[in-house]
């Protein structure tokens, strides 16, 4: 489980100004905004097939979902940082496919500020005109004035066209190619997985020598399992899967239909968004998503790390976590009587990396007091 900094209030100020200047009669606040957010959440989580046919609830997207989802890309970027695989250039060249309002680009800008990167050169591919207007407005403020403390400058180029053919229009090289919650919208037919794999392999040819493709998807069963299948096909074709997997074996979570791999980020919503989330029946203390990172370099061997992919599951007298590593899936249990304020499992949730010694076997249940556990 990754811990991130709360979103700076300056972001909300910039979003408010953009909403006021661009949305006009489509802007929403108060109860009208809550209703729009609630309806949009229903579409995102249960009725994604209706996304293309619904009237665009643009105020809900801009005023709530953009600032809520902006930190999600920190998960895969943190994975790259941990492995020493972030791009080394002082300016990152980014291709944002299905850029929407720029959520993923702005998340990268915020991360880049803390990583010591000087600026971003972003090519944003998006067919929605108002989405691009919002992206351009917010991008102009990044790295300047009050936003200079929370983001790096963005030199933006927009491509108002279909992302499926972007690889034919843009030559690269790019340090990051990102798709934020948009891969699931591509190629929904009988050959969905194969077509997505071919698409991503084409994009991989546009990467710089130390670049990466970052895919962020909804933490839903169908979209997450599709991403796990994509991962398997890519790996069979020699792609270097840098995250979230710590191993190069087949995905053990595909063995059972009820399992799917997703992550969570511990970060509270900005205070003004918490009442909106509560009234709309949404969580406000953490974010969830699924991600896959494809690195341009050669594949690395499996590590001894275990990724937490389930839990904590609380039962009488104990708490359990499901973990994924090279041997397969295992469970680790901590008895309540062994809990202490300093216990290494106290803050562990989905996405956390652990070292467990001795290494469990596939399917094994181990007690935390019988092994040595520490967070990576």
Q: What is the pLDDT of residues 160-192, one digit of tens each?
A: 999 999 999 999 999 999 999 999 999 999 999
Domain boundary among 246, 261, 295: 295
Task: Give all strands (DSSP E) within the chain, no chain letters.
Answer: 2-3, 91-97, 119-125, 154-159, 174-180, 207-217, 240-243, 263-266, 286-295, 306-315, 318-325, 328-335, 353-357, 365-367, 372-375
Domain boundary among 250, 268, 295: 295
Long-range contacts of residues 15-20, Cβ cutoff 8 Å, at least 24 apart: 15/62, 15/63, 15/66, 15/67, 15/138, 16/63, 18/62, 18/134, 18/137, 18/138, 19/59, 19/62, 19/63
The residues with which 92 forms a beta bridge, in sequence order, are: 120
Q: What percent of the chain has pLDDT over 90?
A: 91
Given a cut of 90, is residue 48 above it in pLDDT?
no
Q: Mean pLDDT across the stretch 215-221?
A: 96
Expressed as residue numbers, the domain containing 183 is 2-295
For the chain, the domain total comes to 2
Same domain membership, residue 256 and residue 156: yes
Same domain membership, residue 76 and residue 219: yes
Given a cut of 60, is residue 293 above it in pLDDT?
yes
Same domain membership, residue 360 and residue 266: no
Can you tell me whether residue 362 is helix, strand or coil?
A: coil
d(CA 126, CA 123): 10
Q: Mean pLDDT across the stretch 127-132?
A: 96
pTM: 0.96
DSSP state of 24: G
Would 291 be classed as within a structural domain? Answer: yes
Same domain membership, residue 258 and residue 206: yes
Can you tell me whether residue 100 is helix, strand or coil?
A: coil
Same domain membership, residue 199 and residue 312: no
Given a cut of 50, is residue 53 above it in pLDDT?
no
Would 300 be classed as within a structural domain? Answer: no
Contact 311, 318 (CB under 8 A): no
Same domain membership, residue 10 and residue 73: yes
Same domain membership, residue 243 and residue 147: yes
CATH of the domain at 107: 3.40.50.150
Given a cut of 50, is residue 1 above it in pLDDT?
no
pLDDT value at position 285? 86
Q: Mean pLDDT across the stretch 252-257?
A: 96
pLDDT value at position 265? 87
């Amino acid at each position: 489980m990754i811990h991130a900094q709360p979103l700076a209030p300056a972001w909300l100020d910039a979003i408010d100004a953009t909403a006021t200047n661009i949305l006009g009669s489509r802007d929403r606040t108060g109860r009208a905004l809550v209703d729009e957010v609630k309806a949009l959440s229903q579409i995102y989580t249960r009725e994604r097939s209706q996304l293309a046919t619904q009237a665009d609830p643009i105020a809900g997207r801009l005023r709530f979902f953009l600032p809520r989802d902006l930190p999600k890309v920190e998960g895969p970027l943190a994975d790259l940082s941990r492995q020493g695989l972030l791009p080394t250039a002082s300016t990152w060249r980014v291709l944002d496919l299905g850029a929407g309002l720029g959520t993923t680009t702005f998340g990268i800008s915020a991360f880049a500020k803390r990583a010591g990167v000087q600026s971003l050169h972003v090519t944003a591919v998006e067919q929605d005109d108002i989405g691009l207007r919002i992206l351009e407005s917010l991008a102009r403020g990044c790295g300047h004035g009050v936003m200079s403390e929370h983001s790096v400058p963005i030199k933006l180029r927009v491509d108002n066209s279909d992302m499926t053919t972007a690889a034919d229009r843009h030559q690269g090289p790019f340090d990051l190619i990102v798709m934020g919650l948009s891969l699931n919208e591509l190629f929904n037919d009988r050959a969905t997985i194969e077509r997505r794999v071919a698409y991503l392999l084409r994009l991989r040819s546009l990467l710089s020598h130390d670049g990466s493709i970052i895919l962020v998807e909804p933490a839903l069963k169908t979209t997450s399992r599709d991403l796990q299948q994509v991962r398997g096909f890519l790996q069979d074709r020699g792609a270097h899967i840098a995250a979230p997997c710590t191993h190069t074996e087949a995905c053990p979570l595909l063995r059972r239909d009820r399992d799917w791999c997703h992550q969570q980020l511990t970060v509270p919503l900005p205070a003004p968004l918490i009442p909106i989330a509560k009234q709309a029946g949404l969580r406000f203390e953490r974010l969830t998503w699924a991600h896959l990172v494809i690195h341009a370099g050669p594949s690395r061997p499996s590590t001894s790390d275990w990724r937490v992919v389930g839990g904590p599951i609380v039962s009488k007298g104990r708490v359990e976590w499901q973990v994924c590593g090279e041997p397969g899936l295992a469970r680790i249990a901590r008895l309540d009587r062994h809990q202490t304020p300093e216990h290494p499992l106290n803050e562990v949730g989905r996405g956390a990396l652990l070292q467990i010694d001795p290494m469990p076997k596939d399917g094994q249940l181990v007690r935390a007091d019988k092994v040595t556990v520490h967070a990576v």
